[in-house]
Chain A
């Protein structure tokens, strides 16, 4: 099956710890994205990557970091600098930017800071 996967589904973190969320796609898509979802806030873009070894900050990048070493993988690290990290995190991919490409979303990871 082609698709986009995220792991883990639920993640708990103590304050002051970094944590990495996994995102993998086998759709051969060039572009990948990370969104944060809070109740009543919609989807806010954290980082995006148009191609391997390249990524750009979105609207709320502070306290987060990413890497794009492989086309199929785009992990997100939530660092201790992120003031309010408890949220639902969504990864997405699309064939490429700058066009009418549908973004396919993963099932999400719910992060809770204890």
Chain B
């Protein structure tokens, strides 16, 4: 099955700086890569996603890049703000894997220092 590795597990950046979270996946057939943000005591929420036919996608301060050859994808947050502090999860969807085809990374705790 698919395996998703996520790094780092904890990331601390100064407010206003950029943050980058990286994920690698094992199955080259995976074709959909969502990113979720989870605030303390709440369920995860989708913040951005990318499909395998696209190399980069941007939504205001958030961007995701995908390198299919290297089988890795990254989340970029620019001009970080205190409300960006949360746990971020990447995931990869293996087609034909059924409803359990979405595999999550273990999460990155992003801390924005004032």
Contacts and interface: CB of A to CB of B under 8 A. Distances in A.
Interface residues of A, number: 27
B44 A90 contact: yes
A86 interface: no
A2 interface: no
Interface stretch (B12-20, B60-68, B69-77, B99-107): B99-107
A100 B93 contact: yes
Interface string B25-54: 000000010101000011111100101000
B99 A107 contact: no
A105 B96 contact: no
Given A103-B102, A106-B43, 16 more contacts: A42-B104, A43-B89, A45-B100, A48-B99, A48-B100, A50-B98, A56-B99, A59-B100, A97-B99, A97-B101, A98-B95, A100-B51, A100-B93, A103-B34, A107-B41, A108-B42
Interface of B: 6, 9, 32, 34, 36, 41-46, 49, 51, 89, 93, 95-96, 98-102, 104-107
